[in-house]
Amino acid sequence: MNPENEHQAWAALQRHAASRLSPGFADRVLRAARAGIDAAPSVLGQFLLGAATAAACAFIVMLVHIRATHAENSRSLEAWQAIATSADDLSQLQ
């Protein structure tokens, strides 16, 4: 594209965009951004939120692990009981 045509295209886009904005838009945006800086969470608050999230995740992982371990132990115990019953039956036959 020709640099002059490109410049004209960008200028037309800027004029069109400027016509779509309400008066005082830039000032309102800057005031809102400055107010947002004051309302930003503190480093301590962010750290506490991260720590609480990590603790909740660790607790959930622990609960899932305990439940899975209990289920596996129950299945293993049932299997060993079946083996023990079979061994008792075989020993009685002899």
Taking only the tens place, the pLDDT of each residue in 30-52 is 888 888 777 777 889 899 999 99
Instruction: Give residues with Cβ within 8 angstroms of 49, minimum separation 6.
Output: 41
> What does the domain layout of the chain look like in residue ranges?
1-40, 42-94
Q: Which parts of 1-94 fold into alpha helices (H)?
A: 3-20, 25-39, 43-93
pLDDT digits (tens, 9 = 90+) for 54-77: 999 999 999 999 999 999 999 999
